Structure 1
Amino acid sequence: MNARAKGRGGWSWANLYLIAVFVILYAPILYLVYYSFNAGGTMHGYDGFTLEWYGEVFSDTRLLIIVLNTFVIALFSSAISTALGVVGALAIHKVRRLQAKNALLSLNNVLIVNPDVVIGASFLILFTMIGLKLGFGSVLVSHIAFSVPIVVLMVLPKLQEMNATLIDAARDLGASGWQVLSKVVLPFIKPGIFAGFFMALTYSLDDFAVTFFVTGNGFSTLSVEIYSRARQGVSLSINALSTLLFLFTILLVIGYYLINRRSGKITEAGARP
């Protein structure tokens, strides 16, 4: 009886802790979203509901161009980094020596564990040394570089789950190397590929620190633009813009969750006799 009560008490405290964590994380975001509909024009008093600030966002031509730049960078970098990440994951998976594989994984994780400020400054120095003009190209290369390790981490577990007998069976049936890859391996790891793509897309859309270092005059992304506008003073159009970006990111996270859930169901179905 006491053990059950203690267990229930433990779950209760755990739930309270989780609620407190989520409140601390999401309260500032909800506060920002709430005042994006404020007709008063400030964040000190709510004077009524309005969509004026969202209309101001959509009527700003320069901002719409920046939104387009952001999505073009995100889509291009995600597509390229997904292709490179799949190749990298396949290469790491084929390494047989444990020490060599661990070394490659460590190198892959460098751009993930390093502070974004260090990565951004390093890219800035590199682009300055090679004479690459800061702008679309520098931002695209930087986003590809920090997105590839994310894709590798998403794809590699799916490769490790794959039964080696599937490949052996395909080869016994006369399949070539390309057929094994396209007909067996890629379909099996497809959930990991899509998850990696969505994660890379989310990271690219949300990135500020690296982009701030490598963007040039005449080219900007949403995160850098929001920062620049916030420095000039509080405007509820920033709230509206941030809300739209936050909602889009939530949609990407939901897509990632659904893909992982589907992947889990496929794995369970394959494991059944």
Structure 2
Amino acid sequence: MRNSFNPRFKPSNLYLWLVFLILYAPILYLGYYSFNSGETMHGFEGFTWHWYREVFADTRLLIIVLNTVVIALFSSAISTILGVIGAIAIHRTRRVRRQNALLSLNNVLIVSPDVIIGASFLIFFTMLGIKLGFASVLISHIAFSVPIVVIMVLPRLKEMSPTLLDAARDLGATEWDVLTKVVLPVIKSGIFAGFFMALTYSLDDFAVTFFVTGNGFTTLSVEIYSRARQGVSLSINALSTLIFLFTLALVVGYYFISRRGQAGAAGRRGRNAEWGLPNK
């Protein structure tokens, strides 16, 4: 007898929706009161754009936004280049034990607590005499973004068939041609995904940046924390809502890039099957 129970009402689906509700309810609550004409979150008095206008009228805040975006773009671009190089180096390592060791070292910064990473960078920069500011924040963001890029790019490399590289070499391609005309186009979706993930992590990071910022240089996350300590202001709600929407746009972009990469990989496997080539 066919089960007439609607699968959309399974307990697992209800649990999933409950988890999403718990996660996003505070964000929606914060965004809702960013349009409040009052000055507190104890009651919604009326709709207004005042707090958003206040955010865009704050020159110091706009400079901090610019600092955050510059740090995110520079660190993401540099970490993407280094991450692609690292992923290719790990992929070309023949010994499984050595490859696993390299992957473990790569994942240290991902699994380590942000407080430990931030304190370690602070001690490191102090020992080297590097002044805390733009340079220290940039180096720190590059350091914790590189492993993310490696994780994004490495699966694309493993999906690539070795016969493509052998065919390119047989046709007279140099190693540089193989890299630029075969490898990089194949892993392009992973590169873009790694870049956007690194950009998202850089924009959202607080713990590491809090330790290594200084000399009048700060980022949005640290600024929001500083303002929140002085008292709850709905301008913080407006600023946080804008950051959330921007981050959400990055995540959606990453999702579509990943879907495109999966579709491309499925197409390559289909062509390989049609031509009698192995899928790896």
TM-score range (shorter-chain normalised) is over 0.9
1:60 pairs with 2:58: yes
The alignment's TM-score, normalised by the length of structure 2, stands at 0.95
Cα separation, 2, equivalents of 1:256 and 1:245:
17
Once the 2 structures are TM-superposed, how far is the Cα of residue 188 of structure 1 from its aligned partner? Answer: 0.1
Taking the aligned partners of 2:22 and 2:227, their CA distance within structure 1 comes to: 25
Shift of residue 271 of structure 1? 1.4
CA distance in 2, matches of 1:82, 1:270: 24
C-alpha distance in 1 between matches for 2:233 and 2:10: 41
User: Are 1:84 and 2:101 an aligned pair?
Assistant: no
Deviation string for 1:87-134 (max 9, x for gaps)? Answer: 000000000000000000000000000000000000000000000000
Identity over aligned pairs, percent: 74
Amino acid at match of 1:29: I
Taking the TM superposition and a 5 Å limit, the aligned residue runs for 1:156-195 are: 156-195=154-193
The Cα shift of 1:217 comes to 2.9
Distance between the aligned counterparts of 1:136 and 1:186, measured in 2?
31
Name the counterpart of 1:209: 207
**Number of aligned positions between the proteins:** 271
Q: 1:41 aligns with which of 17, 36, 39?
A: 39
The equivalent of 2:128 in structure 1 is 130
* SS in structure 2 of the partner of residue 234 of structure 1: coil
User: What does residue 240 of structure 1 align with?
Assistant: 238
Q: CA deviation at 1:267?
A: 1.1
Amino acid at match of 1:123: F
Equivalent residue number for residue 277 of structure 2: none
User: How many angstroms apart in 1 are the aligned matches of 2:7 and 2:191?
Assistant: 41
The corresponding residue for 2:97 is 99
Alignment of 1:2-17 (within 5 A): 4=3, 12-17=10-15
Deviation at 1:12, TM superposition (A): 1.1
* Aligned-partner SS, 1:47: coil
User: Shift in Å at residue 137 of structure 1?
Assistant: 0.2
The alignment's TM-score, normalised by the length of structure 1, stands at: 0.97
The code of the aligned residue for 1:38 comes to N
Mapping 1:149-160, distance limit 5 Å: 149-160=147-158
Separation in structure 2 between the aligned mates of residue 10 and residue 134 of structure 1, nearest angstrom: 53
Letter in structure 2 aligned against 1:186: L
- After alignment, is 259-268 or 131-140 more displaced? 259-268
CA distance in structure 1 between the partners assigned to 2:43 and 2:9 by the alignment:
39
Equivalent position SS for 1:101: helix
- Which residue of structure 2 lines up, in the alignment, with residue 118 of structure 1? 116
CA distance in 2, matches of 1:117, 1:62: 27
1:10 shift after superposition:
9.4
Please give the alpha-carbon distance, in whole angstroms, between the structure 1 residues aligned to 2:109 and 2:265.
30
SS at match of 2:37: coil
Which whole-Å CA distance do the structure 2 matches of 1:99 and 1:216 have between them? 41
Which whole-Å CA distance do the structure 2 matches of 1:47 and 1:88 have between them?
Answer: 54
> Partner of 2:227 in structure 1?
229
Other structure's SS at 1:109 match: helix
Q: CA RMSD in A?
A: 1.2
